[in-house]
Each structure stands twice: as C-alpha cells, then as structure tokens.
Amino acid sequence: MIRIHQEGKKILQRLLIILGLTNFLVFWLSQNEWVENIVLLISIGIYILVLQFFRNPKRAMEASPKQVIAPADGKIVEIVEIEEQEYFNDKKIQISIFMSPLNVHVNRYPINGVVKYAKYHPGAFLVAWHPKSSLLNERTTIVVEGDDGQEVLFKQIAGAVARRIVMYAKDGHKAVRGTDAGFIKFGSRVDVILPADANVLVKVGDKARGGEQILAELK
C-alpha cells in the first residue's frame, strides 16, 4: 500500500474533486463516448502522477554516527569544494541532489543530533541545476550538530517549478536520522554541506536514495 505524505493529502482530495467534476461535466455535455474515455484516461494519468509525487515510503537503515545519509531521493549532480558563507565561513564539500518530478520529495535528516540553525530564505526560481540556485533561489538552511560535535548543513532549494518549501526543523529540535525534516512541493534540489575532510562515498551521476544511502563518512 502506498503511504501518502501529510503534505499531499489535501491536494489529492481537491484534485480528486476537480477531476471528478470535470469528468461528470464532460459526460453530461459531450455525449461522445470517445471524448469521455480520453478525458477519463487523462484524469487518471494526472492523478497517478500527483499521487506518486507525494509518496512517503518508510526508509530505515543501520549506520554509524560518523556516516551521513542522503536527505533526498534524486540524482547527484555536483560534488564540489565551496567556501560556505552563510554559517561556517569556511571551506566545505557540497553534494547536490536534483529531484525530478518522479522522485519522492520528502527531505530527511542526514545525521542524528540537534538542530543548531534553521532559516528560510525567499528568493528567485532558477532551474534547480543552475550553479547559482543554491545562493539565489528560495531555500532553507538547516544545520544539525551530531552527537560528536560535528555539524552538517543541508539546504532545501526551490526550482523553476517548485513554489513551496516546507521546513519542519526548528532551532533546538532533536534531529533523528532518516525522519522528516521537510518537503519540497513539485521540486527540486537539496545540497548537503560537509566538512572539507569528509570521505565522500558517492560520485556525480549516482542515484541517491533518501534515508538509506550513505553519502559520506565524517572523520
């Protein structure tokens, strides 16, 4: 059975009503079986597409405290050294995960610990793979301090289609690896910012699986 995320339940209910009314009107007005069937098939396709977008599969794995798991499903599009300027003001490693409309869009905590910083930034809506989307787009920044004192930062970043970021993290909240930290509706990218000496275990082009795949190990 498909588990639906709480962010999608109202949207799916409204969509079902809209599609139902649309099909009723077509059936009532057209009296053309071919048209009715086409509209019905299109309606079913739209509903299935939106339904799979709001999937919320259970994910669980055993990992050591030093291991950082993927916070999102998607494709790893960038692994690069950056000068992080919002929180650390230091050199870090950035791993970027692009989420297509077909991916699960739940965002999960990558490590256990305490939320030390959580901030929402309004911004633009560049395509998610644009190099400057991490700095210019609507986004959130979340920093979790692990039990060993090391900090991992990750960003939810809106794209050209995504227009709604939901962030559950708040300063002082307990972060449990693999549990929900937020959701991006109809988009788009998550950046994970790691210490410069982290041992990255993935490469560009790999498919990330949120809540299960190990991205890196901390020293």
188 catalytically annotated: yes
The CA distances from residue 65 to 98, 142, 194, in Å, are 25, 18, 14
Query: Would you say 195 and 201 are in contact if contact means Cβ atoms under 8 Å apart?
Result: no
Q: Pick the catalytic residue: 43, 133, 134, 188?
A: 188
Query: Would you say 186 and 172 are in contact if contact means Cβ atoms under 8 Å apart?
Result: no
Strands 180-185 and 106-108: antiparallel
Query: Would you say 33 and 84 are in contact if contact means Cβ atoms under 8 Å apart?
Result: no
The CA distances from residue 37 to 15, 34, 40, 106, in Å, are 19, 5, 5, 34
Looking at the annotation, which residues are catalytic? 188
